Amino acid sequence: MAGVVDSNGNGNAPAGTRDSGPPYQAGTATVDNQLDNDSNVDDATDDSEISSSGETTDEILEDGIAGTSPAQTIFNIVKNIVGEGMLSLPAGVAAGTGLMVAIMITAVFGVLLGYTFSAMGRVCHATHTKNHKEACQVVSGSNLAQFMAVVLMLKTSFTCVSYAMVIGESYSAVLRGFGLTGFFTYHYTVLIIIMLVILLPLCLQRDLSVLSYTSIVGVACEIFVVTFMQFRLADGSYAPEGKYYEIIPEPKRVSWGDADGPDLFGFSVTTFVLLSSLATAFIAHYNAPKFYVQMRRRSPRRFNRAIIVAFGIAFAIYVWVMTVGYLTFGKHCDGLILNNYSERDPWASAARVAIGIAVLFGFPLSFTALRDSFMSVAGIPAEKKRFFFPVTITLLAIITVLGCLLHDLGLVNSLGGAIFGALITLIFPGYLLYRASRLQAKGSKYILGGIFPKAEQSVTIAVICAGVVLLCFGSSIVLLKKFSPDVLGLKPKPHH
């Protein structure tokens, strides 16, 4: 149980450690020995990772957890960030935003959310905690800590149910595409079978190093999809006079509207819709503490290196898919870009299967966050193995039932995504970083020193303010899309 902050702003020790000195004191010799024996001398002897700053690598992992290497951490982060949503980005550009403007917006959010992702790792390191709730208990108090855990649980619940619906519908469509019919092609039958045969074994893994292998497959599938799109752009199959140009319907063929070619620097009211989408495009922050805690020889510096590579890969995939999709179909990009490609194109069919695999292997990472946040809210000790199996089975059963019964989460999911996204990616990390840096400045012995520069307090305030602005902005965009789409230059969706 993590400690809380007293009325003077000093962190109270977790139970049983009040008289034992700072939490990092125990085990220092062990850490030093491990570092001395490590072959990577520059990591083991860098002054910013050892010495007076107290920033040391930490080999203390839960029983049965092997931990992830930096490469495994990178693949898990990338897979947690990049999903089927990448296929909607070309349509966001086509709606009225210049390609270069879209790339710059993506870069800004990539840097900003990469920073707040890193912040969660540093806060966990400085407070010696394993999740948002424990970290908040140390730097702020129990009430806000419980609120954070509830928000994380709600956000990941929506995410997992959305995954379940997509998995059932997409794999059902794949089976029907191969000419199969009957009971075993129904979306609920397909979902139940996939849950039992594939996802249950993966979700029962406590060690993220195991999930890193499915993450590698998922990322490879996503790269295959964009590579296919790049190949079709290069060979001109969907350009006028191309092999598939006359086969696809006219509304899906390449068109630049009244322009002579691609719009590079345009800006319109629909840019706000793209901006709202990109504001949560890099969200994986609900898993940031777990990614840090399960990293072998973890330290903020090693974690930051992994984040830079992972967010760089995610950024490259986003830019790649929005560029090739937009340059291939122009203003006629579908909201799911693979729908632009002909069903007679065998490689397009392969790409549809590949994105289905990528979505499938993204589920366990989101489910891991849901289970952790649920256990945190309920006060169930995450390290107790006897609770792990029944909680996993119960949550998966609920998600499966909802995935079978629901077809669209509608306004609640969209509005919740905008609100929870801003809280999880900006406001929570900014606030925890601000409180931790304040406690460090006051000399609290339960905050590891030398982690947060003084100037960072001003940065965290700016991050929190940005989060509040995006929360209001994103919520407004969701409501306008639902009730007044014409204000955003969008066509109203037909009512069924």
**Type of residue found at 336:** L
From CA 263, how far away is CA 274, in angstroms rounded? Answer: 15
pLDDT at 14 exceeding the cut of 80: no
Is the whole model's pTM more than 0.95, yes or no?
no
pLDDT at 433 exceeding the cut of 90: yes
Per-residue pLDDT averaged across 59-87, rounded? 89
From CA 42, how far away is CA 11, in angstroms rounded? Answer: 33
Top-confidence residue, 174 or 247: 247
Query: Is 11 in a helix, a strand, or coil?
Result: strand
pLDDT at 7 exceeding the cut of 90: no
Per-residue pLDDT averaged across 194-208, rounded? 96
Output the CA–CA distances (angstroms, integers) from residue 48 to 57, 143, 163, 417, in the order listed.
11, 34, 41, 37
Give the DSSP per-residue string, 381-412. Answer: -TT-HHHHHHHHHHHHHHHHHHHHH-S--HHH
From CA 10, how far away is CA 450, in angstroms rounded? Answer: 16
| The two three-digit tokens of residue 101, written as one number | 């403007």
The radius of gyration of the chain's CA atoms, rounded to the nearest angstrom, is: 24
> Residue 59: what pLDDT?
54
**Type of residue found at 251:** P
Residue among 42, 51, 63, 59 at smallest CA distance from 299: 59
Residue among 442, 430, 487, 491 at smallest CA distance from 117: 430
From CA 84, how far away is CA 320, in angstroms rounded? Answer: 14
**Type of residue found at 49:** E
> Residue 412: what pLDDT?
77
| The two three-digit tokens of residue 393, written as one number | 């089975």
Which residues partner with 58 through β-bridges? Answer: 298
- Each residue of 308-353: pLDDT tens digit? 999 999 999 999 999 999 999 999 999 899 999 998 999 999 999 9
